[in-house]
Amino acid sequence: MEPSRDIARLIEIMAALRTPETGCPWDLEQSFATVAPYTIEEAYEVLDAIARNDLGDLREELGDLLLQVVFHARLAQEQGAFDFGGVVEAITQKLIRRHPHVFGDARSLSPERVKALWGEIKAEEKAERAERRAAAGLAEEEDAGTLSGVPLPLPALTRALKLQEKAARVGFDWDDARQVLAKIREEADEVSEALDQGGLDAVRDEIGDLLFAVTNLARHAGVDPESALRGTNEKFARRFRHIESKLALDGMTPSDADLPRMEALWEDAKQKERGAA
């Protein structure tokens, strides 16, 4: 087979890899469950390429992510459930349905009305999905309430954000960010009390409450908490590399240096960043 820009070629390659006896032994052993971790990994590699603004890598990583979709679709096709065309049909149908202001009669809507309409359409889709599951004899979704539809495997900060967004839509929310700041201070005090008491379970619970409150603050400030923390992680790594490089000039490693010296080098890194800005 030759490479191609046609999606049909990718589907053909996937079919060949999954063909018994002549296909790839590794691919033939896979299932939805075994492929799922790779799907998550590839999504994060797409995110990493975007964060690095590396469009060459982004092209490659998007291809890897597309392969995951094709792989899952092939597994479903082999079970007689749906094929790749069904996946495309489902998403195009959803996009057209959720954008009546673009593809339908509901034009010239305000951004606020578009957002409200989006929620109404999703609610209709949720009801239809419940009817479809009932007709197929499937059990009701474990969480069919306001907070349903937020996947458990999401990163904790992202899931916290989505849970808060859903609760906010029905009025369970703070009025402004300063109220959330007060809640953060309250949660921090409760962490301090738990540390004084020395119970690990209590400390874990209170730190969880604190992180949830900080996520809420990010939401009120219009900041994605996952992106914010990712940026801070990189900033920490960059400054720590500065510490290591400076110590190396004296033939030292961080293990050889005391904390005051490393803190001084940390401040040096911060000053250089401010100067560069």
Per the document, the length of the chain is: 277
Least confident of 116-130, 146-160, 206-220: 116-130
Q: Over 70: is that where the pLDDT of 207 sits?
A: yes
| Long-range contacts (CB closer than 8 Å, 24 or more residues apart) made by 114-117 | none
Span 7-49, pLDDT tens digits: 999 999 999 999 999 999 999 999 999 999 999 999 989 988 9
Q: If you compute the radius of gyration of the chain from its CA atoms, what whole number of angstroms results?
A: 25
**117 and 100 Cβ atoms separated by less than 8 Å:** yes
Q: Where are the alpha helices (DSSP H) in 19-137?
A: 25-29, 32-51, 55-78, 84-98, 100-103, 111-135
What CA–CA distance (Å, rounded) separates 108 from 148?
31
Residues 266 and 246: beta-carbon distance below 8 Å: no
Condensed to tens digits (0 to 9), the pLDDT of residues 51-72 reads: 889 999 999 999 999 999 999 9
The model carries a pTM of: 0.69
54 token code pair: 């590396």
Phi, psi dihedrals of residue 273, rounded to the nearest 5°: -65, -40
Q: How deeply is 160 buried, as exposed, middle or buried, from its count of CB atoms within 10 A (0-12, 13-18, 19+)?
A: buried
The structure tokens listed for 252 are 């030292």
Buried b (16+ CB within 10 A) or exposed e, 83-122: ebeeeeeeeeeeeeebebbeeeeeeeeeeeeeeebeeeee
Q: How confident is the model at residue 105 (pLDDT cuts 50, 70, 90)?
A: confident
Q: What count of other Cβ atoms lies within 10 Å of the Cβ of residue 142? A: 7
Residue 213 has pLDDT above 90, yes or no: yes
Nearest to 88 by CA among 149, 10, 1: 10
Identify the weakest region by mean pLDDT among 109-118, 240-249, 267-276. Answer: 109-118
pLDDT beyond 70 at 139 = no
Banded pLDDT at 257 (limits 50, 70, 90): very high
Q: What is the pLDDT of residues 153-177, one digit of tens each?
A: 888 999 999 999 999 989 999 999 9
Contact at 8 Å (CB) between 125 and 149? no
